Amino acid sequence: MNSFELIPTEENLIHTLDKDLLKRNKDLVRFYDLILAQEGASSIAIDGRWGSEKTFFVKQSMLLINAKNPMSDMDDEKKASIVYALPFPKKAEDMPENYDVAVYYDAWENDNDTDPVFSLVYEIIKQLGINYAFDDNSNAFKLAGSVLEALTSRNINGIIEKLKSDNPLTKIKEEKDLHENIKNFFTELLVERGNRLVVFIDELDRCKPSYAVQLLERIKHYLYDDRITFVFSVNLGELQHTIKHYYGNTFDACRYLDRFFDMRISLPPADKTAFYREMGLESSYVLEKICRKVIDTYNMELREATRFYRQVKAATYEPTHESRKFDFSFSDGKGRQLLLMYVVPILVGLKIVDISLYNQFVCGKSSKPLMDIYKDSDKGEWLATRLLNRNEAFEVEEGKSVVTVEQKIQQLYDAIFVTEYTGKVYHTILGEYEFDDNSKNFVKSVESMLSVYADYNI
């Protein structure tokens, strides 16, 4: 099965920049200008919902910062491919000077560590490829060595005893004056690599509450420096829940976070058009049109949209794209084809965005999802027209009953999920289509991706 998910590999990051698939290149340039405008110690929160590809945005920002730094180790060809894909001024005199250096820290991957300062400094050391060519007597060399020893289990005797104490950071600080050593470490680090360090901290809102709080407070106390900008990629709503979980529901988490974030900006929404085209969702086939409608109705973020379309495509692609493999010539077969195109995508989408509403929908308790997708859309009107019986019309006609689009959609829902088929009522005819007691099980089977229609190789 093909995965359309935007995995933030360097190859994908650069490819997406080159094609501007998310239409965020202009936002990256503006954010880059914002970073360059920082003076003194600063902290910025980028707020976005889960699945909005915040990680993609910050990793592209990190690439851009390092590509624009003439002192970085990135090769010139890669620098050029990144910079020239972006809408910078092309005149050399209009290009801002940049000697910033950027690193990325995944807080969630490290939230089992004893102390955030260790893993954060270690990540800086690792990503910047420090070769330890410091003076043996320098504080920077001592700090780098101590952090590496603590985190890689080398020369662990004695250090482990400090880490077992109730407050290991205080113990280490007593011996090494950690705060001052860290400042000296950054001084020596930036002399060789730039004039400002930009640290992107991601996934903080997914961390254990104790670690999230500790990381924020340790950074504020030990790493807040005039030469460092911290960029936190977070879902602020979820982070506030995390803080409340730690301090209590009555705690003012919003005001608390103001201590750490000098600036809060919202991640600009991605323009999904080019991305849909890359996925194949711009096709004129009915299934793709319905999928786009489901994505828009439920306001799916990019990650949700890619998961959703991948599952729908695996479950129903073959029989809905002019395949001759399946015969839908009979009335019940036409009904099944309608279910594949118009109902299965809703089931798949509901399982991703709202499992409670999914359960209500398939149990015959709520037709709301079907109404949300089709009631006020051209697709709904077209569908309702095909469901009209011979004695029905949407406008007054002699000898015909006047019905509404909403009524026909409700009848479709009832035929699939509500009607109890017995010896007297063994099927429901709606226009060209027939539904029976197998219809409900059919759509659930297809949605499960384990039916005869599933194709895992598309």
What 3-state class would DSSP assign to 114? coil
Q: How far apart are the first and last CA of the chain?
A: 6
Which CATH topology does 10-266 take? Rossmann fold (3.40.50)
Q: For residue 153, what pLDDT is reported?
A: 41
Q: For residue 452, what pLDDT is reported?
A: 84
**To 10 degrees, the CA torsion angle through 385, 386, 391, 396?**
10
pLDDT tens digits for range 58-69? 999 999 999 998
Residue 137: phi and psi, rounded to 5, are -95, 0
- pLDDT, the chain, mean: 82
Q: For residue 152, what pLDDT is reported?
A: 43
**How many Cα atoms within 13 Å fall on the side-chain side of residue 360?**
11
Question: How far is 240 from 238, CA to CA, in rounded Å?
Answer: 5
| Complete DSSP assignment for 163-231 | HTSSSHHHHHHHHH-HHHHHHHHHHHHHHHH-SEEEEEEE-GGGS-HHHHHHHHHHIIIII--TTEEEE
Q: For residue 22, what pLDDT is reported?
A: 86
* pTM metric for this prediction: 0.74
| Unique residue bearing structure tokens 């060595």 | 145
Domain boundaries, the chain: 10-266, 272-448
Name the stretches of the chain with pLDDT < 70: 1-5, 90-97, 129-183, 185, 188-189, 191-192, 322-332
Q: For residue 404, what pLDDT is reported?
A: 93
Give residue 87's identity as a one-letter amino acid code. P
